[in-house]
């Protein structure tokens, strides 16, 4: 059985206890194997914090510190799902790679919090593209991209066309698939009377991931304690083909199953 349960959330500061509880609740209820957190707004992370948000081994984490009151990225993973053998930490993204034991495939995971500045964001996309071209394995890239891909992903907000083009070009050039979002059209809102909404958060995957898990879905979970929705990648697919339906003939009767035969007898 091939599965993937990945939770990504721009939490807008992870210091408060209620946010610890909210993350932990989502992790446990969705059996999360990979956790991406953006905007921790922390310069350091300790074991106590990791235990507060994660229900598996606390040493399976990577952290990129905040710069002042901005940024901060945290990744956690279940080592029963992924055996990490390489990692790279940058101010705006964390890359970690290893063997996904159930898939028997090397997979590269990227948790990113893209810069607000369009030029810096384009530089980050170029660095990621270079890493992808030089690194073997399939890719799953998620987080807060801090821009939209096209005009349909925004409401009441103006984005620079060049900024949108940079994201679109990165997706197309890398060969990744932008997972469709269900549950909401947007992932961020200004939470004000004059509403502004857009889709800043997304997950991109290699086409091979979709071959492994045809039922892969990206869900926008209900918004709470942040102006961003948590997003959840989830799927379950059996490797073997479904067993064919069998009918057994016994004498003059055709017995489909005991329960079905009883139902037919009553009709």
Q: What is the pLDDT of residues 49-77, one digit of tens each?
A: 999 999 999 999 999 999 988 899 999 99
pLDDT digits (tens, 9 = 90+) for 92-127: 999 999 999 999 999 999 999 999 999 999 999 999
- pLDDT value of position 237: 52
Give the total number of structural domains in the chain: 1
Range(s) of the domain holding residue 190: 2-266
Q: Is the pLDDT of residue 259 over 70?
A: no
- 58 is written with which tokens? 């606390």
Using alpha carbons, list the distances in angstroms from residue 110 to 37, 74, 170: 11, 11, 14
Average pLDDT over residues 226-233: 98
- 77 is written with which tokens? 């993973």
- pLDDT value of position 164: 83
User: Residue 219 forms beta bridges with which residues?
Assistant: 182, 232
- CB 131 within 8 Å of CB 175: no
How many other C-beta atoms are found inside a 10 Å radius of the C-beta of residue 58?
Answer: 15
> What CATH code is carried by the domain that includes residue 244?
3.60.10.10
Q: Is the pLDDT of residue 240 over 90?
A: no
Contacting residues for 245 by C-beta, under 8 A, at least 6 apart: none
């Amino acid at each position: 059985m091939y599965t993937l349960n990945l939770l990504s959330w721009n939490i807008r500061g992870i210091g408060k206890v209620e946010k610890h509880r909210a993350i932990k609740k989502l992790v446990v209820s969705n059996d999360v194997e990979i956790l991406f957190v953006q905007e921790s707004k922390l310069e350091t992370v300790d074991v106590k914090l990791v235990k507060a948000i994660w229900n598996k081994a606390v040493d399976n984490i990577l952290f990129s510190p905040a710069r002042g009151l901005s940024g901060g990225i945290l990744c956690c993973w279940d080592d029963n799902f992924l055996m990490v053998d390489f990692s790279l930490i940058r101010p705006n993204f964390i890359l970690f790679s290893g063997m996904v034991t159930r898939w028997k495939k090397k997979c590269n995971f990227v948790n990113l919090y893209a810069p607000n500045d369009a030029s810096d964001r384009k530089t980050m996309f170029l660095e990621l593209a270079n890493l992808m071209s030089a690194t073997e394995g399939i890719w799953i890239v998620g987080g807060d991209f801090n821009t939209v891909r096209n005009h349909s992903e925004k409401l009441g907000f103006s984005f620079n066309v060049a900024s949108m083009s940079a994201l679109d070009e990165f997706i197309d050039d890398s060969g990744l698939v932008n997972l469709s979002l269900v549950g909401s059209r947007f992932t961020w809102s200004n939470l004000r009377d004059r509403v502004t909404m857009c889709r800043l958060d997304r997950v991109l995957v290699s086409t091979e991931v979709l071959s492994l898990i045809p039922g892969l879905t990206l869900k926008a979970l209900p918004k709470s304690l942040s102006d961003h929705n948590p997003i959840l990648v989830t799927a379950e697919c059996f490797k073997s083909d479904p067993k064919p339906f069998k009918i057994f003939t016994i004498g003059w009767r055709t017995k489909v199953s005991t329960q079905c035969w009883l139902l037919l007898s009553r009709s």
